[in-house]
Every structure is written in C-alpha cells, then in structure tokens.
C-alpha cells in the first residue's frame, strides 16, 4: 500500500517533469515541491496551507512563489482551482474525473466518483448555450464527523 502510493507519486513526479519541459517551464526545486505536496494532499489545500507544509522540508521557499507556481501550473492545466464559496482559493492535482462533497459545517471537501452522473446526457437546451467540455457535481451536506460532534 505504501509502496503503491510511493510508486504512483514518483510516476506522477516524472510525468510532471516531462510536462514542464514540454511547456517550457523550468523544473525548479520549488515547483517540484509544490506539485508533490499537492499530489499527496487529499484536502484541497489553499496556497497558505501548501506553503506551511512545504516549509517544513524546504525552509527557503516563499509564499509568493507558491502563489506564482499555482497560477502557472493552473494555466498549463497541470492542477485545478476548486469551485467553492470560500474567499481563499483551494487547489487539487487530481485530474481524473471526480466530484466533490462539501461539508457545510467544517468546510472539508471530499472526492468521490459518480459514473451514473458522468453518463447522464446534458439537457438538450444547452446546445443553445454553447459547447460543454467538463461537468462537475458538488454535493453539500453534513459529514459524519461533524454530525458525531453534534
């Protein structure tokens, strides 16, 4: 299990380096660490959260660089900015199709897959709107952790 995880991570880091070279982005220590941290995170962290985590390993990184890196990677489609009602931006590096369940109490965002939704055709009337390229479901509710705490 840990090996599988490690393997996947190093695979993703290799793909990342390749993608950087393709996009003419220099493979810097900072970019590697930002990406690595985001791949490993399951909680859709903000720039500040990522910064604090990376700082424990890489004492010289600055918050500005984290912001700049996130913007760059987003622009190149390597990471995604998550749709939220919150004021601070949150990110994810999971690029395979998935959806989000958001706890309205603690704000935690949980990933899940939903094949029957993915297969439901979009309403015909949307042809008048434009060309849909991506679809996401966002469920809202109270997570079991928060219910337990009452």
- Decide: residue 88, CB within 10 A, 0-12 exposed, 13-18 middle, 19+ buried: exposed
Site for a copy of itself in 62-81 (CB under 8 A): 81
Instruction: Pick from 7, 18, 21, 135 the residue near DNA by CB under 7 A.
Output: 21
Site for DNA contains 36 (CB under 7 A): no
If the CB atoms of residues 2 and 131 are measured against a copy of itself, the closer one turns out to be 131
Minimal distance, residue 21 CB to DNA, in Å = 6
- 62 contacts which partner out of a copy of itself, DNA, none, CB within 5 to 8 A by kind? DNA
Distance CA 42, CA 50 (A): 12
Three-state DSSP at 99 gives: strand
Instruction: Pick from 9, 27, 42, 126 the residue near a copy of itself by CB under 8 A.
Output: 126
- 133 contacts which partner out of DNA, a copy of itself, none, CB within 5 to 8 A by kind? a copy of itself
CB 81 within 8 A of CB 90: yes
| Among candidate residues 132, 33, 143, 44, the one with its CA nearest the CA of residue 92 | 44
Minimal distance, residue 139 CB to a copy of itself, in Å = 5
Distance CA 23, CA 52 (A): 27
Site for a copy of itself contains 28 (CB under 8 A): no
CB 68 within 8 A of CB 79: no
Q: Which residues bind DNA (CB under 7 A)?
A: 20-21, 24-31, 46-48, 60-65, 67-69, 71-72, 87-89
């Amino acid at each position: 299990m840990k090996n599988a995880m490690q393997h996947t991570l190093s695979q993703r880091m290799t793909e990342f380096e390749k993608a950087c070279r393709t996009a003419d982005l220099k493979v810097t220590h900072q970019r590697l660490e930002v990406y690595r941290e985001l791949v490993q995170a399951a909680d859709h962290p903000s720039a500040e959260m990522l910064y604090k985590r990376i700082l424990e390993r890489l004492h010289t990184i600055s918050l500005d660089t984290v912001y700049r890196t996130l913007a760059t990677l987003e622009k190149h489609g390597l990471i995604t900015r998550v749709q939220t009602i919150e004021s601070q931006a949150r990110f994810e590096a999971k690029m395979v199709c998935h959806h989000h369940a958001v706890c309205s109490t603690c704000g935690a965002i949980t990933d899940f897959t939903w094949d029957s939704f993915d297969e439901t055709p979009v309403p015909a009337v949307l042809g008048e709107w434009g060309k849909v390229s991506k679809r996401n479901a966002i469920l809202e509710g109270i997570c079991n952790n928060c219910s337990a705490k009452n």
